[in-house]
Structure 1
Amino acid sequence: MDTLAVMTSQKSPQTMKPATAAKKLGVYLEATPAEFQEGVVTRDELNTLQSDPPEWLQELRRTGPHPRPVVAARLGVSISGLARGGITEPLTTEEIEALRAEDPEWLERERAIQAEVRAEEARLKETKRRP
């Protein structure tokens, strides 16, 4: 192929696997529609999903099931903390709310650990700012 042909050829759109797109959207892949799971997602499609989410995406974000990073964030713990608490599967919003209401000992402990980690990160960030 000569250089002129390379220079004038159109770039193909950047695509990603459905698992990557689901992660970027903060949703559990297995709960997405089949056509989403079986296809590829372009960068433009991802941007559209983020800026103007269809009803299925809005509902999934609202009710779940949610992937572990989202569950951890909503409970205020780390993903490791979820595992230590025995939570290894995605949870729905209702299940997350039930856990919050129950406030088991492991959740209190993991929230305290997370608070310590954040405080230490903030302290280290502050010491880096000082000359």
Structure 2
Amino acid sequence: MTSRKTPQTMKPATAAKKLGVYLGATPAEFQEGVVSRDELNALQADPPEWLRELRRNGPHPRPVVAAKLGVSIGGLARGGITDPLTTEQINAIKADNPEWLQRERATHAEVRKEAARQKNQQG
């Protein structure tokens, strides 16, 4: 009795997170189905046009927005950014360089610096 191995699948939200895209902006067939590990690997290896477009122009999920702005996700919330943003909107925030962004970038840099210091002490 050999059991057949079923392919590992994930919810669309999980796949979108792994792909670094905002689920609400993905095509309906992506949102409504399940994604196998092989399908995810194929999307990462050879992204279709819709995926390339989302990665290029957004809207981007909060972790991507935070990374592009150089702040933490908490810093985004403190700055009043709670919705996904497009690349154009992110670039506008960078160009304006508001006080909250400057403050959060400094805080984020300090946190990273402290984390690196602690890691060096442990190792």
Q: TM-score range by the shorter chain?
A: over 0.9
TM-score w.r.t. structure 1 length? 0.93
1:48 is displaced (CA, Å) by 0.4
2:52 matches 1:58: yes
SS at match of 2:41: helix
Q: Percent identity?
A: 77
The residue correspondences of 1:43-82 to structure 2 (distance < 5 A) are 43-82=37-76
1:127 is displaced (CA, Å) by 0.3
Separation in 2, partners of 1:10, 1:93:
44
Aligned length: 123
Determine the structure 2 residue equivalent to 1:98.
92
The residue correspondences of 1:1-131 to structure 2 (distance < 5 A) are 4=1, 8-129=2-123
**Bigger-Rg structure (1/2):** 1
Structure 2: runs of 5+ lacking an equivalent: none
SS at match of 1:86: coil
TM-score w.r.t. structure 2 length? 0.99
CA RMSD after TM alignment: 0.4
Separation in 2, partners of 1:9, 1:113:
53
Runs of 4+ residues deviating >2 angstroms: none
